[in-house]
Structure 1
């Protein structure tokens, strides 16, 4: 498949399987894939065990799979096959337990965004994203960021970065003076 569409080989690994969905959706977007062709596009990227699975699904549905299946139906069947429930539960737990320790705001934000891709159910509503990010930050950062003053997650991230920069400048001035 063109436009950087990744192949999926059928490994039953929740992270690999979730990343493939994100990557294939990105490839569909950049290639202007029409809504009715998304399943066909993704099916063309399945190889090895994944191709065997798809052929079995196709046989079960008597060949109507690609023509009649919606993208949501494809993703649901795909998740049922390749994203193990225990793996999803572990990812959710890790995401909800994630806390900033020694990471910079830039580092923890990158980790937050990466893991958020794996648990999209917690990122649907802006308020959920904002709440999760705020509670992940260290307590000293939370004290200086007004949750209610941040209209969205991006504003909160900017404020956290500004606070971190201010704190670093103060630390450097104290070190130089003392």
Structure 2
């Protein structure tokens, strides 16, 4: 058995679909996609892919293919065969519409496997923009659910198949989480609510603190300013105004004695100064007055003052 015959036999063991030439773009596209996947699975050489898939054409499609190969050489690549097939069985306006669907494809409510199936089908009509593995990965991740695609973006993958496998694993994990939540007991709900309440209170407290940080700092600054103002007032009062009633009585009396002695000393000094400034008008000397003048005559030397006599008439004496 030749190598080519063995390859065809291995290919047919997977029961590939046949295409009869129906005018249904969906059927034609599905046939192309199925054969492309078998080529990749069996690692069919690029030069043999068109010839092996041409063997799976039936009816009107087989006539078309036989006629073409009789006139033209067998396409050297799968890409050439795909484009010939699309031009023959899918109108150009349908191809453009499916191309736009590929560019706007999103997973939505589809599973990852359903999304991948639709992605591969529509990608056949947009090979001009998805003509490399890198671009195919980009468009595939872009259309995934955010809970799945957001995780895969950070991992970095080299092939579309690796990205697809990781998307399936992520989808399985999310489904397990949802299943656990669906089968939780009322006690679990109570615990979940309690945990959520704690987290919410913690977040609210944090948000309140963050939102009110400026206000609280202003209020703290105002309180600090008031305290400082009160302390300053109290200090000024203590320095300027004495409050003897707040002192012990003995200390107050002692302080009073000191104040009295100080006052008495000042009185003596004041009197001494006045005494020194006095001047005697008898001798003209300072330091004493005339009463205490040392130059004054003794009292005994002063002659007595004469008595006043009255002369009475004879009649007056006689009467008395």
Mark yes or no: TM-score above 0.5.
Answer: yes
Match of 2:32 in 1: 21
Distance 1:95 1:53, change over 3 A: same
- 1:104-119 matches, cutoff 5 A: 107-119=110-122
Q: Is the 8 A contact 2:50 2:81 kept in 1?
A: yes
Alpha-carbon separation, structure 2, partners of 1:123 and 1:168: 39
Shift of 1:159: 2.7
Higher relative contact order (CA 8 A, sep 6+): 1
Does the residue aligned with 2:154 lie in a helix, a strand or coil? coil
Distance 1:172 1:98, change over 3 A: farther
Shift of 1:52: 2.4
Distance 1:93 1:111, change over 3 A: farther
Shift of 1:50: 0.8
Does the residue aligned with 1:112 lie in a helix, a strand or coil? helix
Q: Is the 8 A contact 1:130 1:156 kept in 2?
A: no
Q: Is the 8 A contact 2:101 2:122 kept in 1?
A: no
Distance 1:53 1:97, change over 3 A: same
1:149 alignment partner, one of 137, 154, 160: 154
1:90 alignment partner, one of 88, 97, 101: 97
Match of 2:23 in 1: 12
Distance 1:156 1:37, change over 3 A: closer
Alpha-carbon separation, structure 1, partners of 2:104 and 2:167: 19
Alpha-carbon separation, structure 2, partners of 1:93 and 1:16: 19
Alpha-carbon separation, structure 2, partners of 1:167 and 1:145: 18
- 1:1-178 matches, cutoff 5 A: 2-3=12-13, 4-28=15-39, 35-61=46-72, 65-66=73-74, 69-71=75-77, 72-101=79-108, 103=109, 107-120=110-123, 121=127, 122=130, 124-126=132-134, 128-129=136-137, 132-137=140-145, 141=147, 145-146=150-151, 148-152=153-157, 153=163, 154-173=165-184, 177=189
Alpha-carbon separation, structure 1, partners of 2:32 and 2:143: 28
- The more displaced of 159-168 and 6-15 is 159-168
Q: Is the 8 A contact 1:10 1:47 kept in 2?
A: yes
Q: Is the 8 A contact 1:14 1:83 kept in 2?
A: yes
Q: Number of aligned pairs?
A: 166
Shift of 1:112: 1.0
TM-score (norm 2): 0.42
Alpha-carbon separation, structure 1, partners of 2:139 and 2:53: 34
Alpha-carbon separation, structure 2, partners of 1:89 and 1:128: 18
Q: Is the 8 A contact 1:112 1:133 kept in 2?
A: no
**Rg larger in 1 or in 2?**
2
Alpha-carbon separation, structure 2, partners of 1:20 and 1:30: 16
Alpha-carbon RMSD across the aligned residues, in angstroms, is: 3.4
Shift of 1:19: 1.9
Does the residue aligned with 2:155 lie in a helix, a strand or coil? coil
